[in-house]
Structure 1
Amino acid sequence: MQTVLIIEDEKDLAELVSFNLEKEGYRTIAAPDGISGLDEAQRQVPDLILLDLMLPGMMGTEVCKILKKSEKTAKIPVIMLTARGEEIDRVVGFEVGADDYVVKPFSTRELLLRIKAVLRRSLPDEPSGKTMRIGPIAIDPDRHTVAVAGEEIVLTTTEFKLLLNLAERLGRVQSRDLLLKNVWGYNYVGDTRTVDTHITRLRTKLGPAGDLIKTVRGFGYKMEEP
């Protein structure tokens, strides 16, 4: 049974989400603020976290930053919940490591589809038995690890999937829409900025090796040998 941690200060909403998730077979944990949410994440290590952006005491973005900096919780996928739908909020959410973003009010069906898609992305791929090497980058699909010049770097599940998708199609241009379909697992209509934001963060984490990911202006991205 997969566990979902709900960090949400609106009690009625948290209870409604919890009720619907448990109907679908998930186990749920609720936390009313960022501090208790961080404690629960460390203590129980859930399979996914639903994180409200506007929380008392500590913003959801700060909670997400802390989660992604901790080795124990860095790879837990995070879906941000917020009543604010401006593009800047989505971008900030992705920049601090969120895997997806749902704007309130949302339907239960939409939320469940997003949760299933994110959890599906976090499942390990079939063992390949080999490490992919592109220049200084070493990608181990079985262990879900990435190293640059021998030093391991921490990627979110989505960042790893994105890098692996580009690496497996080395030299081939991938449109933003195709990357959304292959990596995110559903059609994020009209929001290709999601891809751009994750590519920017991925390049930053890879350091100079991030230059191997090339932008194809007006279309998408590709990865090339050095």
Structure 2
Amino acid sequence: MASKQKILVVDDESDIVELISYNLTKEGYQVYTASNGKEAIKIAKEVYPDLIILDVMMPEMDGIEACRIMRSMPEFKQVFMVFLTARSEEYSEIAGFHVGADDYIAKPIKPRALMSRINAILRRTSSEAIDDYATDKLEISDLIIDRDSFLVYRDDDKFVLAKKEFELLYLLASKPNKVFTREQILKAIWEDSVVVTNRTIDVHIRKLREKIGENYVTTVKGVGYKFELN
């Protein structure tokens, strides 16, 4: 139930905090707030939220530094973290993903889109992994991804995937809109194989798109890939 899930909203702009908090509370979430990174870490240690929404640019400690510090703590490694920012520069987005962000939302905030994104993120627990499926089938977007048969269905179409192609698709689709870095993908799909390179991931992504279509897997330049759920 949403009422059991706690969300920490961190932004130095009070109107933004109020807007997000109002919409989250209306959805049934338990909301906590902070105005900078230092305060966010303190409150997070007290309430252990399921999700933290962090502004990038804040006084005292910015969101990227706060995320980096919390990701270094065992108790926050599995907490979802989403960045807010009014900045459009690509480097700030990449910096956020490199310190462990799960998603990235640009200001100005559109409440309906924000709630849709947050609900999608929290539908799945962060403990899910490619080698520990919660279900034998994923039904997402207009696809059915069947783990037992290594087949993907869309309406009357059936797609036969190679094992690694299937595992890659399942990993991305298991957490829609989450960006997986190349390092995360390599570790999850190919583990410690020394012969696998980033080029291997690119080839498998290209084959996936050729088989199921271009609209599902999105490239996040300089970071990795995600399953796009609109």
Task: Tell me the matched-pair count.
Answer: 178
SS of residue in 2 equivalent to 1:55? coil
CA shift digits 1:89-141 (9 cap, x unpaired): 2221111100000011120111111111211232656xxxxx99xxxxxx556
Structure 1 contact 79–98 (Cα < 8 Å) conserved: yes
1:36-75 alignment runs, 5 A limit = 36-75=39-78
User: In the alignment, is residue 31 of structure 1 matched against residue 34 of structure 2?
Assistant: yes
Which residue of structure 1 aligns with residue 174 of structure 2?
A: 183
Give the 3-state SS of the residue equivalent to 2:8 in structure 1: strand
The residue type equivalent to 1:78 in the other structure is: M
Q: After superposition, what is the alpha-carbon deviation per residue over 1:142-193, rounded to whole angstroms, capped at 9, x for unaligned?
A: 8xxxxxxxxxxxxxxxxxxxxxx9xx988332598x568613325x9xxxxx
Question: Is the CA contact 1:77–1:122 (under 8 Å) kept in the aligned structure 2?
Answer: no
Give distance in 2, aligned partners of 1:141 and 1:80: 27
2:74 aligned counterpart, secondary structure? coil
1:209 pairs with 2:192: yes
Structure of larger gyration radius: 2
Query: Does structure 2 conserve the Cα–Cα contact (< 8 Å) formed by 1:174 and 1:220?
Result: no
Aligned match for 2:163, one of 162, 166, 171: 171
* Letter matched to residue 83 of structure 1: A
Letter in 2 for 1:114: R
2:118 matched to which residue of 1?
Answer: 115
The answer (yes or no) to whether the contact 1:203–1:211 under 8 Å persists in 2 is no
Q: Match for 1:220: what amino acid? A: I
Amino acid at match of 1:184: K
TM-score (norm 1): 0.66
Instruction: Please say if 1:220 is aligned against 2:211.
Output: no
Cα root mean square deviation, aligned = 3.6
Aligned to 1:102: 105
Answer whether contact 2:79 2:126 (CA < 8 A) is retained: no
SS of alignment partner, residue 76 of structure 2: coil
Q: Hey, what's the Cα distance between the residues in 1 that align with 2:89 and 2:22?
A: 29
Q: What CA distance in whole angstroms lies between the structure 2 residues aligned with 1:76 and 1:46?
A: 7
Aligned-pair CA distance for 1:213: 5.7
Tell me the distance in 2 between the aligned counterparts of 1:121 and 1:61: 24
Report the counterpart of residue 79 of structure 1 in structure 2: 82
1:88 Cα deviation after fit: 2.0
Over residues 36-67 of structure 1, what are the superposed CA-to-partner deviations in whole Å (9 max), with x where a residue is unaligned?
10011111100100011111111211111111
Query: Quick one: which amino acid aligns to residue 171 of structure 1?
Result: K
CA distance change for structure 1 residues 179 and 56 in 2, over 3 Å: closer, same or farther? farther
The one-letter code sitting in structure 2 at the alignment partner of 1:111 is L
Equivalent-residue separation in structure 2 for 1:207 and 1:219 (angstroms): 12
After superposition, the Cα gap between the structure-2 partners of 1:179 and 1:102, relative to the gap in structure 1 and judged at 3 Å, is farther
Length-normalised TM-score, structure 2: 0.65
Cα 1:204–1:55 change in 2 (3 A) is farther
Do the aligned partners of residues 76 and 212 (structure 1) sit closer, same or farther apart at CA in structure 2, a change above 3 Å counting? farther
- What is the identity, as a one-letter code, of the residue corresponding to 1:52? D
Q: 1:2 to 1:210 in 2, by over 3 A?
A: farther
- Give how far 1:74 is off: 1.4
Helix, strand or coil for the counterpart of 1:116?
helix
